[in-house]
Structure 1
């Protein structure tokens, strides 16, 4: 019995040592909370790679174990400001959701484990034509049996939303009657349940950031 107790005690001590060692390890590099309120240095050697609707921003992190992530802040249109983060494990932050093919300013900060921001670094990105704007010019509305059919080309195979509207004779307004998101290259979608009488329909393209294309309108039977 005494031998069993000694073995049990030895095992218990071993487990305690392992737990303490584990706690010490977690309080090291991966610890989020820090009392070090030193302002971190900025990122350097910044490079931009533009793509449709966004850009990859690569950089060198400052040589500091206190850096937790890189923060990017930017406007994607006239009403929306976005923030994206990239951990210290990465050398790239992705900015996306831009509404147009034009120049945008991005504000970059390194952020410490004590949530202290570095001085800002400003860069310019020039995203290519956003995906929803690539799809929009290819929209087609045609009559279908008991309804309408929309066709479009999504050559980039990125997710877009197709929004249908129809005229409501009771409210005397155009109202959303159907919507769906897809990554399909060849969009071919029908909505049915309409009488064989002339009716006003509309369709437009959106994306996950709420950007909206111009509206295609048609009066179909």
Structure 2
């Protein structure tokens, strides 16, 4: 009997709470008295933004301050700041024009004060300075885009090209905040093409389009059937019966088809022959897959060197460093914990670009400086490598 009464009491409590839901969510205080106005506003302008500092009214029920202005595109933008601070920042300005901004004090009943109207002028948004620094040049299979972004602003580079109908079509959008940008957009045949690149920020402000007529450099994947083992005296010994030739056997996921060294310590290196002399454009390296991604002997920091006449003693005489690489784990989680993004990135492989001014080479040397297990790692393993360039 007591149990039935307890259940009944709980049900009545639930009915009461549900019936009072609107009252619970409503403001605790309701009045129609507007708070006082803010006073003594002052401004500081930065790139695409303005910080406004002010004195708050003394109303006890003050909740926040709101700034409101209309953009050059006719959109009303509102920015709020808590009553516990005395400043707010309006960002996303599209230009350096003067704008009227209304500042309101708002209380717990959502009553607004009379507006304090001020005029503000932001400094030039970052995207326009970046746009002036853009350089477009021919690259393997496409174009190379270089720019400077000194404030490390979050931007989108929109790459387009003029298609067969004479219309600009978007090829890709590159999101970045790097200070020194150097990106390549590929997938084009080696014929003259008109390219366009413009910059967009997160408020959808846009620059004009940089236009260039360029001819992409011929590029193709190098024929792996021509690759050969070319072991030098200082190269790492093979471990676990997994030879160097597994680097180009076209198998990525299988556990038994990788290159694996013996425990020789870091740094270590492996050398091989591409079978042709080629001006390289890029390469992709696939880690050992499965539970091993971003772990164990997969390279974390490594270098790729090239030569046409390697020293027979295994030294670095006649070798030129083509690129330094550092593997990045997308999730940044500790070793052994991999997100879906980590798994997908490892499956795609890590692509690295060879500088345009690099000389043609025939022999490749991979110098592993550190593996993912840490500085104490003694062995390395790689599933597959693919190279691209011009071997004509």
Distance 2:174 2:85 in 1: 34
Which of the pair has the greater relative contact order for Cα pairs under 8 Å at 6+ separation?
A: 1
Q: Trace 1:84-99 onto structure 2 (pairs within 5 A).
A: 84-99=79-94
Which residue pairs with 1:19 in the alignment? Answer: none
Which residue pairs with 2:53 in the alignment? Answer: 58
Displacement of 1:135: 0.8
Which residue pairs with 1:188 in the alignment? Answer: 182
Which residue pairs with 2:63 in the alignment? Answer: 68
Structure 2 residues without counterparts, runs of 5 or longer: 1-23, 216-392
Displacement of 1:75: 2.4
Q: Trace 1:200-211 onto structure 2 (pairs within 5 A).
A: 200-211=194-205
Of stretches 94-103 and 76-85 in structure 1, the one that deviates more from structure 2 is 76-85
Distance 1:210 1:218 in 2: 24
Deviations 1:109-137 (A, max 9, x none): 11111111110111111111111111111
Secondary structure of 1:64's match?
A: coil
**Greater radius of gyration (CA):** 2
Distance 1:203 1:145 in 2: 17
Distance 2:137 2:195 in 1: 10
Deviations 1:152-179 (A, max 9, x none): 111111112111111222x541011111
Which residue pairs with 1:216 in the alignment? Answer: 210
* TM-score normalised by L of structure 2: 0.47
Displacement of 1:220: 0.8
Q: Aligned match of 1:42 in 33, 37, 41?
A: 37
Structure 1 residues without counterparts, runs of 5 or longer: 1-26
Tell me, yes or no, if the aligned pair for 1:57 and 1:94 is still in contact at 8 Å.
yes
Q: Aligned match of 1:116 in 101, 111, 118?
A: 111
Secondary structure of 1:124's match?
A: strand
Q: Trace 1:134-145 onto structure 2 (pairs within 5 A).
A: 134-145=129-140
* TM-score normalised by L of structure 1: 0.82
Change (3 A) 1:57 1:153: same
Displacement of 1:79: 3.2
Distance 2:70 2:112 in 1: 19
